[in-house]
Structure 1
């Protein structure tokens, strides 16, 4: 799908209005040339003709300027809309899609692809007006001298052929440059995410910089230079051929009497008048191709179609009693090209209970949490809330049952907006005391004002935000891992009972075996297989680890 089709579909009426005024400006431009030829060039011009000429030029200026401004407004409005829609599509995508696409590719599209579309729209008036004006000038040349027009058309065809070859090469290298940008964004992430490790190991830093980042940056530079070279070649080729056309017109008129010198002057002036718009159109065409590459990159993200709303109107019963996973399985790619799979598992959560999930690293605990929360759609099996089966139609409503603090949590500065309910300052103050953050975390109007907190303190604030959401299910993925031993004990012995008393169903991933006795049930994950300790075995394991 081209940019013209997208913008026409989205802004049909303003786009057609712009085309109308562009045609009008082209017609007025031809009128200016015709007036010069008929009234000024051949004599007979009086004061009235001068005023008429000035008025005609004024009309041409107004129509051309209005059409370009109108198209620019449409383009920038469309870019803003596309940018917002892309962010919304990312927000609407499930966790599996975002993970498969990769953060680097999404960031590259948000930064580079939207930028290239914006540049394309700024050049779109040049392309549209240049092509339309060239068509209008060609008709005028046919009326003046068909033979001279044939020569001019031949020169234009030569210009277009050479420009087309240059533009194809430009397009090839620009597409390779765009692919290289995704790789560079991954390297940028490595520099930021692995900054501490690169600082500690300068040999690793040197190897990464010299063998990974620099070669990729050089490849992008090489592609960009070649793309720019062919872009400039297309522009200068067009300028040269247009000047050659003017020379050919005068030569054929003066030495072969194809036309009078007055007509030759008019034809040459028309060709020179075409030169600016046509050169601008040729220069804009590669930019349009770049925008096509950007559109293809956006399509490769495979994000869901844009939806304007955030709520689909479906809802699940707030007073649910059981949540069941029935033969649920899930498979996703893992490192090294291998795959990791959750074997078909069955799990029932009863409202109000506290469940611990234990298991070694890489056993599938976090994957199960993502499937349970509806962030990863199961590959097979069913999820039921009481008697309601979770499908694609109500999956968004199902996610609204959960609040979570994952290991890679993000702490939003605004704690209370968007909670779906009113949150009192007193409730926030009570939770700050429970989390031992009163006097450390400064919160006003539901917004965190100080960000200089430790990772453990930020995680406590993330728990505060999750608790304020008032959801019935709370997932805590290794929440206590970043806490000091004293507060870790506070979490298990005070906060978990408080959450249970407040009505939360807690699903906690934990390695803290000395606190297993605080769970109502203990689940175990091993190589993607879920099992549950029986009542007596759970008591024995909890008692053994509590000593």
Structure 2
């Protein structure tokens, strides 16, 4: 079990660890030599023994230098491995298809990456300390065997019995840690509802109380009880280890003289060895729970990465596909497309389609319909973010599939109703700051936001201002197809009129294709076509 973490560190760092192992051996042996020197020097206190004093100083120096090297190198390897893993997972996430991303959810991703990183790093330090302590223990017991073979075998019998009990308890701990990790994930998911739905909970006491009392609190208490049981087992193991050491010392003091001829000086030397190894043994015992939790974190990282390995929708992208070289198009079309959302038990809960819809280049198309009618899902299908479960998406009669989805999506600039506002103009190499400043002024943002050092001075804005800044960013991207999902909502009447009658008209004059999700029926005359969605179906007569 404990090898999982070591395997992870070796695999992700491409570091064999031979030098660290050698340094750990030297540190453990030099630490063990200290008790040998102490026992030898204690035979005669009459005169100052410079030889033993020198050996003691050299051993301490070697121990300090090798432990520093071991801890530093292990920490560096762990940081490098975690950085490589987190970057690789982040890269796979950005290549994943949207449906899988939504199923996994942001809370699980952030929790797995953040908590896993700290657990694995702390465990790597414990491994370094534990390795040195383990080698010191081996050396010390070898020294004990040299002092007295009977004492050594007595110690082996007691230790084997102790290890068996310890491992039995640890098996239960490992199982409870996995359950605890699952509960903590559920807690983070419920807490995300509190943070993301703060305004809604503030105006609905019943909803707030239900979420808190029946979910957040219940899950938290359940996780707490599991954690307390786990910690109790950890504590029991630690106390048990200390008691077992006392029993071993008692065996050396009371039983060994009855089993073989042993001088008082030998008994004192053996007890000194046992007392000397109590600290290193504590390092090993304390490291076990941290390493165990880190193993769970490694497993969770592996599970998360495996999900996104299968979700990569760009892996089959053809570098020379027909859409890669297309700078423009004549039309995009959905033909008999169907898409269904499914619950965790694979039961279909909402279906869009079958849909037949064609959008021509340069058209302004409004998508209208009630909330939950499927407008946003239709936009995601049109833009290649969702894949049809039946039917096909076409661009100029070219089927859009796994070989060219990535190229197709580059036609689009989209502002969803739940858009994310970026602090920089990512993807735009040479920013036309004159045009950008003009757009900021036009959107009445010039006195609130500036663009300097490659980023916006702030994105802490009101909802309407955030939408206007998102619109500025979309216009700067200069794409062929623009999709605006309720962008004019939360705007004052003056800006709403400007958006529909000026912004959309200017984009149309530039030959852009525009798809607008809207409820503003007073501006439907701006559209070339109005397509109505009703319960996932394009209403009769709405298709042009």
- With structure 1 as the length reference, what TM-score do the two structures score? 0.87
Q: Is the alpha carbon distance of 1:435 and 1:236 closer, same or farther for their aligned partners in structure 2, counting shifts above 3 Å?
A: same
Matched, 1:182 2:185: yes
Of the structure 1 ranges 523-532 and 491-500, higher mean CA displacement relative to structure 2 is found in 523-532
Matched, 1:493 2:493: no
Question: 1:482 aligns to what SS in structure 2?
Answer: coil
Q: Is the alpha carbon distance of 1:13 and 1:111 closer, same or farther for their aligned partners in structure 2, counting shifts above 3 Å?
A: closer
Of the structure 1 ranges 209-218 and 175-184, higher mean CA displacement relative to structure 2 is found in 209-218
- Give deviations 1:375-401, integer Å, cap 9, x for gaps: 223324433434654343443333222
- Which position in structure 2 is the counterpart of 1:543? none
- Which position in structure 1 is the counterpart of 2:165? 162
Q: Is the alpha carbon distance of 1:15 and 1:374 closer, same or farther for their aligned partners in structure 2, counting shifts above 3 Å?
A: farther
1:382 to 371, 392, 405: 392
- Which position in structure 2 is the counterpart of 1:11? 13
- Which position in structure 2 is the counterpart of 1:481? 489
- Give deviations 1:463-504, integer Å, cap 9, x for gaps: 111111122111111222222333222222111111112332
Q: Is the alpha carbon distance of 1:534 and 1:90 closer, same or farther for their aligned partners in structure 2, counting shifts above 3 Å?
A: closer
Residues 473 and 505, structure 1, Cα contact 8 Å, conserved in 2 = yes
Q: Is the alpha carbon distance of 1:334 and 1:174 closer, same or farther for their aligned partners in structure 2, counting shifts above 3 Å?
A: closer
Matched, 1:401 2:411: yes
Aligned residues: 533
- Give deviations 1:99-134, integer Å, cap 9, x for gaps: 111222223223333332233223222333333333
Residue 438 of structure 1 deviates from its aligned partner by: 4.1
Matches within 5 A, 1:260-299: 260-299=263-302
- Which position in structure 2 is the counterpart of 1:545? none
Structure 1: which 5+ residue stretches go unaligned?
539-547
- Which position in structure 2 is the counterpart of 1:511? 519
Residue 201 of structure 1 deviates from its aligned partner by: 3.9
CA distance in 2, matches of 1:103, 1:386: 36
Residues 113 and 294, structure 1, Cα contact 8 Å, conserved in 2 = yes
2:339 to 330, 352, 360: 330
- Which position in structure 1 is the counterpart of 2:174? 171
Residue 406 of structure 1 deviates from its aligned partner by: 0.1
Matches within 5 A, 1:314-325: 314=319, 315-325=324-334
- Which position in structure 2 is the counterpart of 1:27? 29
CA distance in 2, matches of 1:270, 1:449: 64
Residues 97 and 311, structure 2, Cα contact 8 Å, conserved in 1 = no
Q: Is the alpha carbon distance of 1:320 and 1:20 closer, same or farther for their aligned partners in structure 2, counting shifts above 3 Å?
A: farther
Structure 2: which 5+ residue stretches go unaligned?
none
Matches within 5 A, 1:348-367: 348-367=358-377
Residue 189 of structure 1 deviates from its aligned partner by: 2.0
Residue 182 of structure 1 deviates from its aligned partner by: 1.8
CA distance in 1, matches of 2:78, 2:534: 54
CA distance in 2, matches of 1:303, 1:502: 41
Residues 28 and 60, structure 1, Cα contact 8 Å, conserved in 2 = yes
CA distance in 1, matches of 2:33, 2:412: 69
Residues 162 and 237, structure 1, Cα contact 8 Å, conserved in 2 = no
Q: Is the alpha carbon distance of 1:53 and 1:452 closer, same or farther for their aligned partners in structure 2, counting shifts above 3 Å?
A: closer
RMSD over equivalenced CA pairs, Å: 3.2
Q: Is the alpha carbon distance of 1:119 and 1:452 closer, same or farther for their aligned partners in structure 2, counting shifts above 3 Å?
A: closer
Matches within 5 A, 1:134-213: 134-213=137-216
Question: 2:168 aligns to what SS in structure 1?
Answer: helix
- Which position in structure 2 is the counterpart of 1:304? 308
- Give deviations 1:61-119, integer Å, cap 9, x for gaps: 32233223321222233233333444333333222112111222223223333332233
Matched, 1:245 2:242: no
- Give deviations 1:236-266, integer Å, cap 9, x for gaps: 1111111221221122343433544444333
CA distance in 1, matches of 2:403, 2:273: 62
Residues 22 and 63, structure 1, Cα contact 8 Å, conserved in 2 = yes
CA distance in 1, matches of 2:35, 2:384: 67
Q: Is the alpha carbon distance of 1:313 and 1:185 closer, same or farther for their aligned partners in structure 2, counting shifts above 3 Å?
A: same
1:520 to 511, 525, 528: 528
CA distance in 1, matches of 2:310, 2:335: 31
Matched, 1:413 2:426: no
Question: 1:506 aligns to what SS in structure 2?
Answer: strand
Q: Is the alpha carbon distance of 1:529 and 1:210 closer, same or farther for their aligned partners in structure 2, counting shifts above 3 Å?
A: closer
